[in-house]
Structure 1
Amino acid sequence: MSTAHQISDQIIYGKLASVSRFAGERLRRVSRSALIAESGAYAAGLVTGDGSLVHQVQSEIEHLYALRSVSRHLLDYFAYDLEEGDVLISADVYKGGTKGQTLTMLLPVFAGGELIVSPVIRAQMADLGGEIPGGYNPEAFEVWQESMRLTPVKLFKGGKLQRDVRRFVLANGRSPELLESDLLAMQACLEEARRSIQAVVGSYGLPAVHQAIERMNERTRLRTVELLPAVTGPLSGAAKLAIAQADVGIQLQMERRDQRWKFDFTGTSEQVPLPYNISRETASACAVTALLAGSMEDLEINDGLLDVFEFVLPEGSLVHAAFPAATAFGFLTSGQAVAAAVTQAMRAEADPAFPAVHGPSPLTVLYPPVGSQTPMEPVFLEPGFAIAENGWSAPVLQGARRLVSAEELEWRSGLRIGYRKRLEDGDMEVRLDVLRGKYEAAIFVPEGGTDVRIVAGDGVRSGTAKGIPVTAGAALEYRYASAEPLKRLVKEDNDGPSR
């Protein structure tokens, strides 16, 4: 390949990559939802007509495989029924998704009647139904307790809003105005991306665009292969979930096969009637991120990266949840255990200093008391983080989520950050004082040193629970355990997980 062709490919691909980057950044800036605008609970990307991933940006690791998987499902579902002006949506854990409250929107783009490169956005909605607002129900055992299941449907058909679909989706959210604003924001970002894609294709021609995508995917593939650990023979790892309700865990065999890497989760425990299961896409994302450790930032996210890896994920297990399994807390439990099993395998049989990317993380959601008639956005609280092994930041698996703004939190939700401090043992403590409002709380606390306490006049409550009253004058106290690999969120497993 000539130098001129290489430069041309990089220019074209760079312009396509900038489209997905701008779509994601624009969504963050225009969204009214704190989950998107502050926490960065979204991903944006571009896919070809056959569902190949061109480029992707993400703030959360769980989207790594999910954006492509859901896009392929949407394009396949409407394979003979697509036209200019369609907007497709889906929120289905079992068809490429990760958790029920995350919605995917795809806008098919055409040139000369041919489906070309289409923009896609995945974002977590503040509320899409379920038993409690926000979808994080620590007692859930099936999907309907967490969210509605939205299978593929057209929000716009030929440029015309499908009002019945709109009414149905909004009727299933407790904050319909906020939900509608997020849907409109996603659509606006996709429309802008469509115009940019058509401009690139108009300037360089579709054959040159396809060639640039193919060559840059190959370049990413070769770079990913270079970063694979140089090991021979199979590696074994295991980790048990540190949850009191069930003795379950992850079993892993992995090996390098020339320019491919295989993860085999045969022997992993069956899915449980608790919200700790994960989809195959979440499991894949956690495994790959753990293996590549800190190298992910050096790679473009496209087919060249994703297709280097193959997976054996038994359906109906913790790592491939089957309908109607609950999954809301899966990333915080089974996802971390997947990463821990990869790390254990590498340290035990290849590299004792192999870096860990996982770490414990509690989650709190405040919502109006059940029965309240006032629409209100749930307040998702992750005010601190476990310190990673390097002692400077959050573990890689936590993604690029930003810490909540103290000013925004106090103005919007009446919660004041009293302090955020690092302790001598490496743990972090955070205190939130409730200045106003009346809430109920759903709290998830992984075992192993992490804790959330609600301190009020009638005493102190701690641990995983839901429906806990939280009123003005109370305080929420968090302790984030330092991310000591295999010792905190997950338990070392020398005998393999029980089934």
Structure 2
Amino acid sequence: MDPIELGILVSRLESICEEMGAILQQSSFSPNIKDRMDFSCALFDPSGGLMAQAAHIPVHLGSMAYAMRDIVNQVSWCPGDMLVLNNPYMGGTHLPDVTMVAPYFVDGEVKAFIANRAHHANIGSDAPGSMPLSTHIDQEGVVIDPVKLIDSGVMDETLLNRISSSNVLSRGDFLAQVGSVKAGVDRFQQLVSQVGKDKFEASVEALNQYGEKLALAAFKQIPDGVYQAEDYLDGDGIVDQTILIRVAITVVQGRLHFDFAGTSGQVQGNLNSPLSVAAASVFYVLRCLMPDQAPTCDGVFRTFSIDAPAGSLLNAKYPAAVAAGNVETSMRVVDVVIKALSEALPDYFCAASHGSMNNVAMGSKSSASVGQWDYYETIGGGLGAHASGDGLSAVQAHMTNTSNTPVESLELHYPIRVTKYAIRENSGGAGAHQGGEGIERSYQFKEDAEVTLLTERRTFKPYGLSGGGEAEKGENWLNGTQLPGKCSMKVKKGDVLRVITAGGGGFGEA
């Protein structure tokens, strides 16, 4: 295919995903989607292979790409259908991330799938924010097996009411997802009509060949060999134990195999994850090795494979709890993979970043001012330094790409006052290049509420590279009393919660 035509096609496919995201953001109701932009949009071919995605949330996109074949091939599709799911053991990640998928038909045949995934602060858990300190998946909210929310154009109102918990705000967010997917189907139809069905199908295969070629060219800079690393999660909040993640990466002529044998077994708490989450972390690191103009398509996935023992932390079995696996374990998998590959390419990768999404979930079932409310946010930290310079300060890292919730929005919607939001000075690792600084964010509660913290790097500090120093680990405090990294608590009016995030590791000897 003509390379200019191919480049234009890639841009047009990606623009559909970007427009879907804009529609979802602008039509949603909750700060979690509207302000934090905790959502992702993508297009898939008839077999469920990735065709294009927007630059949204890496853990959403990589896991969707890995699992979509299994999702779409178990359904009998009709025009006008839309599937909804969140079951981590059937293509999801954790329960708050709800995925919607619609087919695109031409002459009675499915020619593509249009999908989005968004994080809902209320998915039916008893704990505010639906991010509990759980030991069983049923404690985390409503489990949605793949089911048609819209069947041949007819909305299943009973199902919609069940999954939205009869909450007006939640219902609005679900309908925003529906509208976003429908818009994607319309835009995709316009594109195929202009290009022509036969030419478009040939173009998709050319796109995959091009993606595989670029990926192989990028990965061949990694010398053949086996590269190993390990790192630890602080603990699951239930049992006092450290949790090992280990990887061995075999590289042969630009093709890679990731073997997570030796990783801890699934745990009692909620740090477990489906294999798709580990795949998303691997895909993210490999995508960082590729040139900016490389398409993100199924062809790239043909260059690597992943194994993790069944029943392990990274390939958990039902009914293991998974709420933090998506947000915390995924981050540590990135750290481990980068650490292993930095042995082969010592000047390419950054030192460990702050290593946690620093999850804060809060709410109340009976607020005097706003009634029932649920809120969830993630807090950034410091990026690791690298051979070319210092790490960035006070930003999200790696597997999340959300915005921060503006203080004005948070205080407008909920009975909370943000009393401090600042860069945490001197938290980055020392070295020839300094690691980025973390964040301090303090919340004062104007009413009684419940809070859950799911945070990491409170025990093990982010590592430095090439002689660089470790960063300062994170801390959590309530009214001057230090809290563990993972905990649930009731807070009173006037209480102050401080979340202090880790910095990034340093690079090179000072």
TM-score, length-normalised on structure 1? 0.88
Q: What is the alpha-carbon distance in structure 1 between the residues aligned to residue 79 and residue 159 of structure 2?
A: 18
Q: What is the alpha-carbon distance in structure 1 between the residues aligned to residue 69 and residue 426 of structure 2?
A: 49
Give matches, 1:216-227, under 5 Å: 216-227=207-218
Q: Which of 278, 299, 306 matches 2:301?
A: 306
Report SS of the residue matched to 1:43: strand
Q: Which of 314, 317, 324 matches 1:322?
A: 317
| Correspondence for 2:408 | 407
Q: Which of 144, 156, 164 matches 2:150?
A: 156
Q: What is the alpha-carbon distance in structure 2 between the residues aligned to residue 195 and residue 313 of structure 1?
A: 39
Letter in 1 for 2:475: D
| Correspondence for 2:86 | 91
TM-superposition CA deviations, 1:365-391 (whole Å, max 9, x none): 111058999753422233442343232
| Correspondence for 1:195 | 186
Letter in 2 for 1:408: S
| Correspondence for 1:103 | 98
Shift, 1:296, TM fit: 7.4
Higher mean displacement: 348-357 or 432-441: 348-357
Superposition RMSD in Å: 2.6
Q: Unaligned stretches of 5+ in structure 2?
A: 429-436, 460-472
Q: What is the alpha-carbon distance in structure 1 between the residues aligned to residue 361 and residue 191 of structure 2?
A: 43
CA contact (8 A) 1:387 1:481 kept: no
Higher mean displacement: 249-258 or 428-437: 428-437
Report SS of the residue matched to 1:249: strand
| Correspondence for 2:384 | 388
Report SS of the residue matched to 2:150: strand
Q: What is the alpha-carbon distance in structure 2 between the residues aligned to residue 375 and residue 357 of structure 1?
A: 41
| Correspondence for 2:432 | none
CA contact (8 A) 2:475 2:482 kept: no
Give matches, 1:26-425, under 5 Å: 26-78=23-75, 81-138=76-133, 140-170=134-164, 173=165, 176-228=167-219, 229-243=221-235, 245-293=240-288, 295=290, 298-348=293-343, 351=346, 354-356=349-351, 358-361=353-356, 362-369=358-365, 376-389=372-385, 390-393=390-393, 394=395, 396-413=397-414, 414-425=416-427
Letter in 1 for 2:36: S
Q: Which of 476, 483, 497 matches 1:452?
A: 476
Q: Which of 440, 455, 460 matches 2:450?
A: 440
Shift, 1:292, TM fit: 4.7
Q: What is the alpha-carbon distance in structure 1 between the residues aligned to residue 15 and residue 217 of structure 2?
A: 25
- Structure 1 residues 340 and 461, CA, compared in 2 at 3 Å: closer, same or farther? closer
Letter in 2 for 1:403: N
TM-score, length-normalised on structure 2? 0.86
Letter in 1 for 2:308: L
Q: Unaligned stretches of 5+ in structure 1?
A: 487-499
- Structure 1 residues 27 and 377, CA, compared in 2 at 3 Å: closer, same or farther? farther
- Structure 1 residues 15 and 398, CA, compared in 2 at 3 Å: closer, same or farther? closer
TM-superposition CA deviations, 1:299-340 (whole Å, max 9, x none): 332112222211112111111111111111124443233222
- Structure 1 residues 357 and 49, CA, compared in 2 at 3 Å: closer, same or farther? farther
Higher mean displacement: 273-282 or 8-17: 8-17
Letter in 1 for 2:374: P
| Correspondence for 1:493 | none
Identity of aligned residues (%): 22
CA contact (8 A) 2:128 2:375 kept: no
Q: What is the alpha-carbon distance in structure 1 between the residues aligned to residue 376 and residue 226 of structure 2?
A: 41
| Correspondence for 2:15 | 18
Shift, 1:450, TM fit: 0.6
